[in-house]
Amino acid sequence: MRMRGFRERKDVEDVWTLIDERIQHMNPESVQLLEAAGRVLARDAVSAVDVPAFTRSAMDGYAVRAEDTFGATPDDPRPLRVLGESMPARPAGVFVSPEGCVRIMTGAPLPDGADAVVPVESTVPGDETVQVTAAVPPKKHVGHVGEDVRKGSVVLKAGRRLRPQDVGLLSSLGFAQLFVVQRPRVATLITGNEILPPGSMPQGHSIVDANSPMLAALIERDGGLGQPPVPVKDERATLAAALADAAAQADVVLVSGSSSVGAEDHAPAILREKGDLPVHGVAMRPSSPAGLGFWDGIPVFLLPGNPVSCLCAYDFFAGRAIRRLGGRPKGWPHVALQLPLKRKIVSALGRTDYVRVRIEDAAIVPLAISGASILSSTTRAHGFVIVRKDSEGHAEGTAVTVHLY
C-alpha cells in the first residue's frame, strides 16, 4: 500500500470551532445528593426555604431587650433576671419582659420580647440574675430569618461543578436529589500489533501500552466515564468492527494510533468510508496526524500513537469535547501562571507548538518541542506553553502563560 501525505492540515482554532459547533452538553439526569459532588448542575438550585427559618442567636450568652443594657460597663453593670434557657431545638417558651433575660446557646431560637444577645464574656452570672457589663444595640448577635438564604432565591446556577461545600449547602436547604448533566461515556481503542498490555514487561520489538492508562486518567479528570480500553490489531476489518461497536455504546470514541498516513493507519479511511472525517491532520507540533470524525453522530478522535502526541491531541481536542458534553467549561482545565522565559522558544509561522517546560528560579525553561515518543519529557516538565500559529516564538525574558500539568 502506497503512503500519501496529508491533503490538508487544519488550524487548531478551526478544530475548536468544529467541536464547539457540533458537540453540545448532554441531557440531565437525577442523582442522589450524596452522589452529586463533582457533578455539573443541569438546572438552577432554587431554595424552597429561608435560612435561617427562625430568628436565632449567633452567640452563647443571654437574650435581652437591648435597651435594658444601655449604659452598662464593668464598673456599672446592669442586673437582669434570668427567666429561662433557650437551647438549639428547645426554645425557652417565655417572654422576655423588661429587666429580664434568657440564657441562650448559639443557634437557639431567640425568645419573644428579646431583640439582642449579650455574649457570655460580657456578663457575670449569679444564681437567679446576671450582671451585664457591656451594652449591645438592637439586633446585635442575632441571625434573622432569610439572612443567609432567602426563599425563592437561586443559590447555585446551572453549569456549576458542585464542590463539597455546595453539597453541604444544598443539604441544609432540603435537597435530596439534584438534576445534573450526564457524564459522557468514553470508549478507547488501542491499535497496534506491537502493543503489549499495560503493566507488561517490555520485550523484543514490542511496546507496552502507555496510552490507555494515561487516557483513562485524563478522561476521569475531565468528568467522563471511561470504558475498559479495547486492544485492536492493525487490520482494517477488525478496526472497523471495533469502531462500530464502540460508537454504539459510547458518547465519545478515542482511537490511539492508526491515525496517520502509513500502510497500517486504517482509521482515517474507515471514517471517510463509513462516517465523516472533517479533520485529518492539524497544523501543530506534536500531534499533526490527529483527526476528528463522526460515526453515526458520535465524535471519534484520532490520537497519534506516540505518547506525547497522544497526550497533546487529547488535551487540545478530545478533552475539550468531553468537558463540553459533561457541561464543564470547555477551556484548559490546568492551573495557569504567567512567568518570564529563561531561554527563547523558536517556532514556525502557521503552526501551533506545544512546548514542554520546567519552572526554575521563577522562570520558564523549555525542555523540548520535538520527540513525540519521549513521554518522560512530560514527567520532567512542570507544564506546557502554547505558541500560537501567528508567532515565530518568544524571546528570552518574555512573559508567557504556562499551563501546569
Picking from 229, 247, 216, the residue whose alpha carbon sits closest to that of residue 189 is: 229
CATH match for 12-26+183-325 among 3.20.20.70, 3.40.50.300, 3.40.980.10, 3.30.43.10: 3.40.980.10
Q: What is the pLDDT of residue 206?
A: 86
Q: What is the pLDDT of residue 199?
A: 86
Find the range with the poorest average confidence among 87-91, 223-227, 262-266, 270-274: 262-266
Delimit the CATH 3.40.980.10 region(s) of the chain: 12-26+183-325
Which residue reads 440564657 in cell numbers?
103
Find the range with the poorest average confidence among 14-28, 219-233, 264-278: 264-278
Q: What is the pLDDT of residue 375?
A: 74
Residue 376: pLDDT band by 50, 70, 90 thresholds?
confident
Q: Which string of DSSP letters, residue by residue, matches 175-191?
A: --EEEEEPPPEEEEEEE
Q: What is the pLDDT of residue 196?
A: 87
Question: Tell me, which fold does domain 28-51+147-181 have in CATH?
Answer: Molybdopterin biosynthesis moea protein, domain 2 (3.90.105)
**Mean local confidence (pLDDT), 121-132:** 94
Q: Using the CB atoms, write b or e for 21-57: b if 16+ within 10 Å.
A: eebebbebeeeebeebeebbbbeebebeebbbeebbb
Q: What is the pLDDT of residue 8?
A: 79
- Residue pLDDT, tens place only, 59-115: 999 999 999 999 999 999 999 999 999 999 999 999 999 999 999 999 999 999 999
The pLDDT of residue 4 is above 90: no
Contacts of 76 (CB under 8 A, 6+ apart): none
Residue 377: pLDDT band by 50, 70, 90 thresholds?
confident
The pLDDT of residue 2 is above 70: no
Rounded distance between C-alpha atoms, residue 191 and residue 56, angstroms:
65
Please state the CATH superfamily assignment of the domain spanning residues 336-404 in this structure. Answer: MoeA, C-terminal, domain IV (2.40.340.10)
First to last CA, the chain: 40
Q: What is the pLDDT of residue 6?
A: 60
Residue 258: pLDDT band by 50, 70, 90 thresholds?
confident
Residue 365: pLDDT band by 50, 70, 90 thresholds?
very high
Rounded distance between C-alpha atoms, residue 143 and residue 57, angstroms:
6
H-helix or E-strand containing 48?
A: none
**Mean local confidence (pLDDT), 321-325:** 97
If phi over 0 gives left and psi between -120 and 50 gives alpha, with beta otherwise, what is residue 223?
Answer: left
For all residues of the chain together, what is the average pLDDT?
93
Please tell me whether residue 299 adopts helix, strand or coil conformation.
strand
**Mean local confidence (pLDDT), 201-205:** 85
Q: What is the pLDDT of residue 1?
A: 38
Delimit the CATH 2.40.340.10 region(s) of the chain: 336-404
Share of the chain above pLDDT 90, in %: 83
The pLDDT of residue 183 is above 90: yes
Q: What is the pLDDT of residue 263?
A: 65
User: With respect to CATH, is domain 56-143 assigned 2.170.190.11?
Assistant: yes
